[in-house]
Amino acid sequence: MDGAIIDVYNSDMDVDGNPEILIQAKSKDTTNYTSIYAFEFNDNNSKANKLDFPKLTSSQRKGYRGNDNFYIKEGKLMREFSIFNGTGKDAKPSGAKRQLEYGLRGNEFTVKQLSKDSTDVKQPDNQPAKTDEKKSSDKQSSSSSSKSSKKKHKRHRG
């Protein structure tokens, strides 16, 4: 096992009557990467079967700097982490978080990204500009500017 055990989760994620134990370990590196070791216990052979926990894909890894927050919600393993802009020591938090939901089907993990984040948008830099645009459009009283303001607002939320 790589790293120190931080937490252990007990759940029957695939609702087959055989419990899964998920062990969260944090490695001692500068970015605080987390590893999950998963096992399913089966009454028939009284042994633990190791399950392969999926690694983050390249798109899920974009902006990743560790410090994951794991928890169980409605039988699913949830994973959240902050997204960073830049690399190495120069990486700065973007203010956005990525949220992934892990399920289990047929002893294989499923992964679904719940957050609609984008690491291509630098939120801290863009947020003040969008706020300024909104303020300036609020000062104008023409109906066309309020329509464009609404479009900008929808784009900002989604």
| Tens digits of residue pLDDT in 116-143 | 875 444 444 433 333 333 333 344 444 4
Helix (H) or strand (E) holding 154: helix 143-157
Nearest alpha-carbon partner for 68 in 112, 24, 104: 24
pTM for the model stands at: 0.68
The percentage of residues in the chain with a pLDDT greater than 70, rounded to a whole number, is 70
CA 96 remoteness from chain centre: 10
Nearest alpha-carbon partner for 42 in 72, 71, 12, 22: 12
Please, are residues 21 and 10 in contact by the beta-carbon 8 Å criterion? yes
Please, are residues 135 and 153 in contact by the beta-carbon 8 Å criterion? no
